[in-house]
Copies of this chain bind each other. A is one copy, B any other.
Amino acid sequence: MADAGGVAGDRLRSFVERIERLEEEKREVQDQMKDVFAEAKGEGFDVKVMRQVIRLRRLRPNDRSELEELLDLYKSALGMA
């Protein structure tokens, strides 16, 4: 790898190009998401609110039992586990 133009250089280029290809794919997906939001907005939905709804849906499974966890947490912290 000390030789910038040697074999290692080819490996590096290969990795970098793979990453760049994936970045491109990712960007496409993001564009599609943007399109969906734009379409929704065009039908009168509030994009910001939609994002929040989606975020909350993502969270929901975890903190479903958040209250119980909190109780356990306190008990644990107080050495009552």
Question: Residues on A close to B: CB < 8 A?
Answer: 1-2, 4-5, 8-9, 11-13, 15-16, 18-20, 22-23, 25-26, 29-30, 32-33, 36-37, 39-40, 43-46, 49-50, 52-54, 56-57, 67, 70-71, 73-80
Contacts and interface: CB of A to CB of B under 8 A. Distances in A.
A13 to B, nearest CB: 6
14 contacts: A5-B78, A5-B79, A5-B80, A8-B77, A9-B78, A15-B40, A15-B50, A19-B50, A22-B36, A25-B29, A29-B29, A46-B76, A53-B71, A56-B73
Contacts of A11: 40, 43, 45
Contacts of A74: 1, 4, 12, 49-50, 53
